[in-house]
Amino acid sequence: MIRARVTITLKPGVLDPQGKAIEGALGGLGFAGVASARQGKVIDLKLEGSDRQAAEAEVAKMCEALLANTVVERYQIAIVD
């Protein structure tokens, strides 16, 4: 079994209202040094097989097909183990 973690974030420059709200709330709590906050998502997958390279290629296909909307998002794949 291979475990893969997909991290999906908004491309730079894409407006992130949720990140802005987080940024504002942190400021409200007294955290003065937060220059910016951006929100993303993490998807953990368990994949059958043992070929890590093949697994990474397969997850990249999943990202393009469904997991990320590449109009505004980018993705990073980490094969955890």
Partner 1 sequence: MRSAIVVFPGSNRERDAARAIRLVGGAEPVFVWHTEVELPPVDLVMLPGGFAHGDYLRAGAIAARSPVMRAVADHAARGGFVLGVCNGFQVLTEARLLPGVLMRNAGLTFICKQVSLRVERPGPFTERYTRRQVLTFPAAHHDGNYQADADTLRRLEGEGRIVFRYTDNPNGSQNDIAGISSAKGNVLGLMPHPENAVEAIHCCTDGLGLFESICAAA
Q: Please give the residue ranges that form the binding site for partner 1 (CB under 8 A).
A: 14-15, 17-18, 21, 65-67, 69, 71-72
Nearest distance from residue 63's CB to partner 1, in Å? 12
CA distance to 26, 43, 66, 71, per residue, from 74 (Å) = 25, 13, 12, 8
Nearest distance from residue 50's CB to partner 1, in Å? 28
Q: How far apart are CA 42 and CA 56, in angstroms?
A: 16
If the CB atoms of residues 28 and 33 are measured against partner 1, the closer one turns out to be 28
Give how far the C-alpha of residue 40 lies from the chain's centroid of Cα atoms, to the nearest Å. Answer: 5
If the CB atoms of residues 18 and 76 are measured against partner 1, the closer one turns out to be 18
